[in-house]
Amino acid sequence: MAAKLALHNPSDYPRGGFVSTPWKPLQEAGIGRDDLVLHYRQGSALRAQIDDVEPGDPERAVLVFELDGDVGPGPDDYSQNSGYVTLGQGPQTQLEGGPSLEVAAEGFKLTNERLSIWFNLAPEDACGYKWRAGSALSVQLDRGEILDNFQALGGWEGHDEEKRLQIDRIRLRRPAWDDESHQDEILIDKPYEIVSRSAGPVRASVTLASQPFDHPYRDPASSQARNLRCRFYRTISLYRGADYLEENLYLKGVPANAAPGAAAPVSLAFTARYFLHMDLGLLPQITQFTHIPDWLSLGCDFRPWQGYGFATDVHAGLVANPHPGFLGPPDKEDRTFSWEIGSSKAAKCVHLFCRCRPRHLAHETGRAWYLHVFKPLRAVLVNEETS
């Protein structure tokens, strides 16, 4: 079946790059996975892949592709098409240069032309620490460690063993009748499980699931109180040539006494707290605007100008530096940062790594927020006959 995707550019200037769209509507329209080929403006086949983000949940499967040219400008409310991508079946061409994924028992590594990032699945690591679950323990930008960039300039000896980026806690609201207002789940000391993975010409992606935990819940439709068995999910993706990670978060629960597959999962609201241990000097440059609470940047005001930027679609709270309650060496607490994202049932986050002056870092972080979170390119299925 011939079909088209209408492209929407919400900017007043031409744009290109990566586009993601749900796969289920395309599948329901009769578009098959096998030998799927995408074209833009009669050009060569686009880099594209279908990722099953979570097995057993077709609603989360996505088609991801990279445009080989710019899309014309359009209104910022996505009300007009800016171009079309055609979908069809044809011979497959092996495209080189896609990100790679390496998986081991203790963790996994995502690598592209700019970044190489190691994530620990287990709480323990080679140093014997027991709070590393789900953390990025090493972030190499252009082949140099950036979380401990001063040491990295001299090679791999003497790196700070505490360096990492992780979600240390999620918080759920408790029912109004409960004695406690919220429920905190600490994630750093419990292993994650890989439930899905993919590596294609566009991106390498991994979906992690936390260990199950219980949560009291009252169904808003029936007012029935029940106990849910919950898992927290993180889909971490590295795109071709990108200096950033994309992370999508969500939380689901099923009745604790239900047989597998017998009850539909419930999406739950949560907040998540990020923790970063990164050497930015004694006076890190924190840029954060209360009137635009969706991004922040943490920079260093002298060479080698290492920096980190964060953007999200659910707002970010104020950065704490040092992180309250840090249990590591007191002389390293100036290297610790933490912030919490707002309550939602799903959150999209971007983690940017670069070496530049703090002012330029803030500009690049705000730009990443606009391009990848606030106003990304969109693609919507249209009928070939009516487009």
pLDDT in tens, 54-71: 999 999 999 999 999 999
* Residue 149, SS3 per DSSP: helix
Domain ranges for the chain, please list them. 3-91+375-383, 101-355
Fold of 3-91+375-383: Immunoglobulin-like (2.60.40)
* Residue 1, SS3 per DSSP: coil
Domains 3-91+375-383 and 101-355 share a fold: no
- Counting every residue written for the chain, the total comes to 387
Q: Write out the two tokens for 184.
A: 């905190």
pLDDT < 50 regions, the chain: 154, 386-387
CA angle, residues 19, 22, 24, in degrees to nearest 5:
150
What is the model's pLDDT at position 329?
A: 85
Whether 208 and 192 have beta carbons less than 8 Å apart is answered as yes
What 8-state DSSP symbol labels residue 53?
S
What is the model's pLDDT at position 313?
A: 98
What is the model's pLDDT at position 387?
A: 46
- DSSP assignments along 296-314, one per residue: EEEE-SSTT-EEEEEEESS
Whether 74 and 82 have beta carbons less than 8 Å apart is answered as yes
Q: Which of 362, 384, 386 lies closest to 295 in space, CA to CA?
A: 362
Q: Write out the two tokens for 355.
A: 């070496």
What 8-state DSSP symbol labels residue 371?
I
> Residue 339: which residues within 8 A CB-CB, separation 6 or more?
273, 274, 296, 310, 316, 317, 318, 319, 320
Q: How far is the C-alpha of 313 from the C-alpha of 193, rounded, in Å?
A: 25
Fold of 101-355: Beta-galactosidase; Chain A, domain 5 (2.70.98)
What is the model's pLDDT at position 204?
A: 98
Phi and psi at residue 17, to the nearest 5°? 120, -150
Sign for the pseudo-dihedral over CA of 177, 172, 294, 355: positive
Q: Which residue pairs from 66-69 have beta carbons closer than 8 angstroms and sit at least 24 positions apart in sequence?
A: 66/17, 66/18, 66/19, 66/201, 66/202, 66/239, 66/240, 67/7, 67/16, 67/17, 67/18, 67/19, 67/40, 67/377, 68/16, 68/40, 68/43, 68/44, 69/16, 69/40, 69/41, 69/43
Whether 223 and 201 have beta carbons less than 8 Å apart is answered as no
Whether 278 and 147 have beta carbons less than 8 Å apart is answered as yes
Beta strands in 210-243 (DSSP E): 213-218, 225-239
Q: Write out the two tokens for 125.
A: 């690591």
